[in-house]
Copies of this chain bind each other. A is one copy, B any other.
Amino acid sequence: MIPSLRQLTFLIALADELHFSNAAKRCNVTQSTLSAGLKELESILGVTLAERSKRSVIMTPIGRKIVEQARKIMTDTQHLVETAALEAEAMAGDMHLGVIPTVGPFLLPRLRPLLRDEHPRLRLYLREELTDQLLEGLRSGRLDVALIALPHDVGDLETLELFEDGYHLVAPLDHELACKSLADGTMLKNEPLMLLERGHCLQQHALSAFPGLLNKDVEFDATSLATLLAMVEEGLGSTLIPNVAIDAGLTKAHDVVEIDLPTSLPRKITLVWRKSSTRKDDFRALGDLIIKARESLRIG
């Protein structure tokens, strides 16, 4: 048998007041209720917490000790309630956002200051993972919302498309296409094209956009876009870089050329969450901010 919080409240009030009637008043109950409650608490604990005569109430040493522990429990409980209350506010409390590595590092540095300014009470926890892991995270409840690139099977999750993001072909400076501003799939046929390691949506999108590449042995195990660019710079081949990364200045640090692609690949940057989620308004507000962040990238 364990005591109830109510009983602990009674005990604390009594320890403060050293007077049953006053303590009862503080708890908004009658004296008899508090008296019975304390008696039951003592019976549960098996110790005398307060020795009372008709004229005075004194706490026993063990009573004091229990009171201190009870106070801690009560403040912890209060803290728990406050944690929840913060969460219940719009754009406040904790939010766990997952992002894909080909978008996160470029967009989120711009998102942070926007959030700090407009929603200072929101604590955004970030996790950078591959799309499938993010979706699993959503379904397991580990994440509240994720930023991914469609097309991709999202099951019964709810989606909010934010914007379309294309690619540029990025090639070595001395590349045969360097002077041209267009490229198409056929041109890439004989191109040593390098992509990210398996699992990245970027690779899947590229392969579906240029089916001809499927037969080629293009599976470099690059783990990041920066690695890819370094390899391009070395003249090992070309690669595809999403526009957000280019807008964010990723290619500026490398001696490479960016070549427009004729067909805009369908790559839709999208927020995803569970249908059963209760914070959809927050997610939509977050989506607006992400769009803002992306626009600030393109302008500045």
Decide: A61 near B2, CB < 8 A? Known: A69-B76, A69-B83, A87-B47.
no
A77 an interface residue at 8 Å Cβ cutoff? Answer: yes
Is the pair B94, A62 in contact by a Cβ cutoff of 8 Å? Answer: yes
- Determine the residue in chain B with the shortest Cβ distance to A96: B61
Decide: A51 near B81, CB < 8 A? Known: A60-B141, A61-B142.
no
Distance A70 CA – B62 CA, assembled complex (angstroms): 25
Please report the total number of A residues contacting B with Cβ < 8 Å.
52
Of A209-217, A270-278, A287-295, the one touching chain B: A270-278
Give the shortest distance, in Å, between A156 (CB) and chain B (any CB).
10
Is the pair A144, B60 in contact by a Cβ cutoff of 8 Å? Answer: yes
A116 an interface residue at 8 Å Cβ cutoff? Answer: no
Query: Which residues from chain B contact A95 at a C-beta distance below 8 Å?
Result: 61
A36 an interface residue at 8 Å Cβ cutoff? Answer: no
Which one of B44, B93, B276 contacts A62 once the chains associate, using CB atoms below 8 Å?
B93
Distance A2 CA – B63 CA, assembled complex (angstroms): 24
16 additional A-B residue pairs with CB within 8 Å, beyond A53-B276, A60-B278, A62-B83: A2-B78, A3-B80, A4-B4, A44-B81, A45-B80, A45-B84, A46-B84, A46-B88, A47-B278, A58-B140, A61-B94, A61-B95, A62-B84, A62-B87, A66-B83, A69-B83
Query: Which residues from chain B contact A60 at a C-beta distance below 8 Å?
Result: 141, 144, 277-278
Residues in A136-156 with C-beta less than 8 Å from chain B: 139-144
Q: 18 A-B contacts, Cβ less than 8 Å apart?
A: A3-B80, A4-B6, A45-B80, A45-B81, A45-B85, A46-B88, A47-B84, A51-B141, A51-B276, A58-B141, A60-B144, A60-B278, A61-B125, A62-B94, A63-B141, A64-B141, A65-B83, A69-B76
